[in-house]
Structure 1
Amino acid sequence: MTHALFQPIQLGSLSLKNRIVMPPMTRSRASQPGNVANDMMATYYAQRASAGLIVAEGTQISEMGQGYAWTPGIYSQEHIAGWRKVTDAVHEKDGVIFAQLWHVGRVTHSDNIGGQQPISSSALKAENVKVFIDNGSDAPGFVDVVEPREMSKDDIKHVIAEYRQAALNALEAGFDGIELHAANGYLVNQFIDFEANNRTDEYGGSIENRLRFLKDVVEAMADAIGAERVGVRLAPFTSLNGTVDSTPVETYVAAAALLNTLNVVYIHIAEVDWDDAPETPAVFKHAMRKVYDGVLIYAGRYNGEKGEQAIQSGEADMIGFGRPFVANPDLPERMKNGYPLALHDPSTLFGGAEKGLLDYPAYHAG
């Protein structure tokens, strides 16, 4: 039943053993102080190395880029050394792993960024959005985000340079490539989506202008590490973190056409995945295929059967399975053999230690 998911696929110069992706999922277990990736995280990812591709959890490119307590960074030598433990552990298990490079923009609180005011495309506060801070206990403390300041031209240049350096750091840390987080209401998305961007310069207004920051960031990273090592995650139809676009099909088909000219190795579409969410329009998926020649990854409410159909129909090349990977470290094996899937414990997703991270067992048929 899940034959197509287990076909190998070429991703740039990388040969992937199957078409199953472990997408990025924030787990907030980086070592403190310093937000450093650690041995526990290395074990977690190595347990899941049977995925064709792992995209590691969102990793902030700077102190200002951090939105939540205890998420890992990739802007210091200590960060690079921490991530090297993770990539070595995954490679020992014959896995392939990309880093997801993340700047949250306005989706943060001053307590998470050294007391500074957040930055964004515009001085618009994300309404009804909370993030969690370290409140001195093991449990995250949720607080409202604060109003950002609009980025100046110098800010924009500075952040582009941070993305470029983070891409170089990721390769130094042993990652096989990087994914730019341009989805889910974070900084790049705050430039793209109309209702989060009221700029009147060349970074605001028309679709072409709102895609300019995405273009500048991708060009800088591709120049540094090669476009065949750069993927991009987009979320055309989500309203996560208060970021909404008025013409999502037009905007994001234009984004895909732009990324095609930049030769990124994949586009990773985060579909809306809450229970009664609308399906991603077929017209959008067909348009994506027309304008983008690289590997298309979709992640959302997929099971093996739906993933199989998406690949066989030609609309997708790879499928991401998020929450199922939390509780099923051996997810590809379970899908291949029709074994039952374990359910994750939502209370252990963020923060804490090994419980809810490393203690989900592989399936033993018997």
Structure 2
Amino acid sequence: MSQVFNFSAGPAMIFPEVLHKAQAELTNWLGQGVSVMEVSHRGKYFMELIAEAEKDLREVYHIPDNYRVLFLQGGARGQFAALPMNLIGKKGKALYLNSGHWSATAAKEARNFAEIDEITIVEKGENTHITTLDFSDIADQYDYVHYCPNETISGVEIFEIPNVGDAVLVADMSSNILSREIDISKFGVIYAGAQKNLGPAGITLVIIRDDLIGHARKETPSIWNYAVQRDADSMINTPPTFAWYLCSLVFKHIKAIGGLKVIAERNVRKAQALYDYIDGSQLYRNVVAKENRSTMNVTFVTGNPELDAKFIAEATAAGLQALKGHKVLGGMRASIYNAMPLEGVEALIQFMKKFEAENLA
């Protein structure tokens, strides 16, 4: 096995340059003779680190001044509960757009705290696609409208921002955060678990507009209260310092290679190469409509579960790891987040060609 390429859906691969930088500093961070994991989170050096991390993220993502950046814990699932506790107000309910497993899971959790309406916006089948994104006629009935722009399990991505009029739009961007430039001002809240494009598992990014902070219901736990976390620099308790540090290195790396325009170009090139091969193949197929195919998670099957299992086993032996699809759908899934190089996708395509030639009936 000459080189391993990790196609895990999350925790996913991190830029090698970031890992090498962390490795070099592991026992002697900033010449202090200790690891970043061993210093006080309220000490001078770590406070400087988090200030610079936010500055770099704001620059890379073009975050407007009237938005706060929070680095929290609990993953996206924690935010499934935090959102209704903080955002449900006078209207008393929220609208959830169901495009797959994770948007449905978010709605299920939110129902523990508020009245939730849910609309399915995906039509599944041999041409799985998003049906509608215009909710301007009903959105003003709700305190917020929630959606998941990229469903990792099915490989469905929503590239167009839903039309919700003047309503508050909330997006779970755990699997496509920082994959391309977006207009942050179109959203009230963006949140994302770190373990796909930001860094390691254990820290969660929340980007929230100022006017949405400070309205949490009285019984909201302080760790989920956006105002409390804002006022405490996201540190009402000891944060996951190493994860925060690694995220800071990722932001710097993205800046160094040319920002999100470069990242987006790479992501499109990788995804297009893989989809083009699948479309021309006699063995593999992808059932997502071209306009909704994810650039982050490419799903495919052979149509034969036993052959799928053989593919996964042989791919793993060839150094192409974590290609097994989610248990909900089966088949294969190649997660090609920001850190996956084009060489990894090319290696996968070459293996797929070889496997097809050897197994096509």
**TM > 0.5:** no
TM-score computed with the length of structure 2 as normaliser: 0.25
Work out which of the two has the higher radius of gyration on C-alpha atoms and give 1 or 2. 2
Ranked by relative contact order (alpha carbons within 8 Å, sequence separation 6 or more), the top structure is: 2
